[in-house]
Structure 1
């Protein structure tokens, strides 16, 4: 009798465990997640109802010209009224952007959904978005932050926040027929290759020279003369540690790089080597004197580094810190707390580049 009871208990425990696992699986398939997380799920997830709900949002937010606005959580649940309003607004929205990950991230998401579901509406929206990116490119190879052109610093060739490199990464995946993009037609593959070829030309042309020596890049460059350009008050013409790291990482992935590309990479890496900040550490601290109760500071630390400035003086390579007053300072403590916590002025941007990625590339070149 005891043996049967044990078997019964084991069976019940197994059944309960199975039901809980099933419930968790169903929940995982249907839970609402953020837009950021939605872009990095296992392949199976993109067949879920939740994934397609978000994809339908992406279609609603797509502007008539094929692009998207920025800073929108595509995963938010929309009411019927909100969906209708988005449909009504489509014809009124003329502009779109590649800033803050806009457009190229939506397109990557749609490709995943199309590959999983095979629904033509996702493919159609994807191809429309690719056409937008190809049309937005300047004849010289650069991309503006907004297209159609929005006057002001938005016209600059924009590396800031990975804008242009994000677009080129996507177009390169299309050009080389990467698996997720094998559905793209030959004509668009060819145009994508032509676009990244022109993009490479402008990357090489905008690399800043100081005293005849190649260094790195500014976050944005003038669309006509390629000079380092100003954007917002705290984004002055300078050498950018963050954006330049992204550019070099892109160049490292090129097959059969030309001598000019090799020189570009090695010159940028040398600049990073020469201008790394050691013996300092960036830390977050609690500070009740501020509304959000925190602050970001830089402290002395013998084991700290390497760090690089988001913005660096073009001539000296020294990190600079600029608040909303547009005045250059040389320590993060000298700018307002709102900027210290709202913008990443100094970080270990090129650490993995120098430690892992560049040495691996150099082995092959």
Structure 2
């Protein structure tokens, strides 16, 4: 006996199989362990997953009672019972909490996403505790130190290095402007965030380096008292920063109603980037089996290369500075030790997108 199966029924069966497989893939994706870096850039729906909450629980364990976190920790790494016990014991320790290398403001962004997705009040409480930490850490002049409580030494400087202060200000500005996923924050905290952002803007304008009566850019860190460019580690000398200054300008470009002094600051910094860009060069990685790590980072000639800028640049001339652990300024990347060449960015296209896309769009608007 013949059996006739309609095309419509076949299509329905195929659709059901497709949906079933898709569901299996979604479950696998949610249960699959991911890195801390990737956990921060997932689609919104992922933050309600078991995996996301497991990582968020790790974030809570690493948070100190003062609201801050230490740096360079893999928050996504599964923890043993002994590690959990030790972390709980260390939560009362105030030493080492920082905004360096993405610490604290990165964890807070993550907790906000998980709270929005789950509604679990424990994540909200930890988030608000962290915001209080950032607000308390701010100097009266508007800057932020690298570590809080204050750690003596260069850690006391107003720190733009590695996106520290700008990372904090981006977070607080989003809170103040009631952007997602921060709309759960109470009005009092939003008002405090706005005041902190306003103070931060004032110190950004006050620390922009002036050379021969002309505004240029910023150092990676500035003295907390006289605002002058300051030294940090042996290879981080007082200078004009290509990387950190580009990040500061990008922050300023996002201000909704910039005052005239902000516009002047932006245009002066862009002028400096234009005047000091390096063309005809590019940075590449090469294999070199004679070296312990087997590779090296070098600058080579390329007629289509650039624009590039130094991470550190002489304040008066704008020329790139290459400084190794001996603290001695060299003129070329290959003159410093290989360990520094491969583990620290001394020259790159830091402001390329700024000059090519973001600033022209801002200028057209303003």
Question: TM-score, normalised on structure 1?
Answer: 0.96
Q: Which residue of 1 aligns with 2:154?
A: 153
Post-superposition shift, 1:95? 3.7
Q: Partner of 1:147: helix, strand, or coil?
A: coil
Q: Which residue of 2 aligns with 1:308?
A: 309
Structure 1 contact 65–94 (Cα < 8 Å) conserved: no
Structure 1 contact 65–95 (Cα < 8 Å) conserved: no
Give, in whole Å, the separation in 1 of the partners of 2:171 and 2:142: 15
* Residue 177 to residue 17, structure 1, CA distance change in 2 (3 Å): closer
After superposing on structure 2, the runs of 4+ consecutive aligned residues of structure 1 that deviate more than 2 Å are 1-23, 92-95
Give, in whole Å, the separation in 1 of the partners of 2:11 and 2:296: 54
Q: Matches of residues 87-166 of structure 1 in structure 2 within 5 Å?
A: 87-166=88-167
Give, in whole Å, the separation in 1 of the partners of 2:288 and 2:317: 33
Q: Which residue of 2 aligns with 1:26?
A: 27
Deviations 1:57-95 (A, max 9, x none): 000000110000000010001112211111111123444
Structure 1 contact 63–94 (Cα < 8 Å) conserved: no
Q: Partner of 1:40: helix, strand, or coil?
A: coil
* Residue 133 to residue 9, structure 1, CA distance change in 2 (3 Å): same
Q: Which residue of 2 aligns with 1:70?
A: 71
Give, in whole Å, the separation in 2 of the partners of 1:290 and 1:243: 30
Q: Matches of residues 342-361 of structure 1 in structure 2 within 5 Å?
A: 342-361=343-362
Q: Matches of residues 169-208 of structure 1 in structure 2 within 5 Å?
A: 169-208=170-209
Give, in whole Å, the separation in 1 of the partners of 2:2 and 2:328: 82
**Root mean square deviation, CA, Å:** 1.8
Structure 1 gaps, min length 5 = none
Structure 2 contact 282–300 (Cα < 8 Å) conserved: yes
Post-superposition shift, 1:50? 0.2
Post-superposition shift, 1:132? 0.2
Structure 2 contact 94–149 (Cα < 8 Å) conserved: no
Give, in whole Å, the separation in 1 of the partners of 2:337 and 2:6: 68
Structure 2 contact 286–296 (Cα < 8 Å) conserved: yes
Give, in whole Å, the separation in 2 of the partners of 1:309 and 1:178: 35
* Residue 127 to residue 285, structure 1, CA distance change in 2 (3 Å): same
Deviations 1:293-335 (A, max 9, x none): 1000000000000000000011100011000000000100000
Give, in whole Å, the separation in 2 of the partners of 1:179 and 1:339: 39
Give, in whole Å, the separation in 2 of the partners of 1:329 and 1:294: 21
Matched, 1:255 2:256: yes
Deviations 1:130-169 (A, max 9, x none): 0000000000000000000000000000000000000000
Matched, 1:86 2:61: no
Give, in whole Å, the separation in 2 of the partners of 1:9 and 1:75: 44
Structure 1 contact 204–261 (Cα < 8 Å) conserved: yes
Q: Which residue of 2 aligns with 1:292?
A: 293
Give, in whole Å, the separation in 1 of the partners of 2:112 and 2:221: 29
Post-superposition shift, 1:9? 9.9
Deviations 1:237-267 (A, max 9, x none): 0000000000000111112111111100000
Post-superposition shift, 1:19? 4.4
Give, in whole Å, the separation in 2 of the partners of 1:215 and 1:248: 11
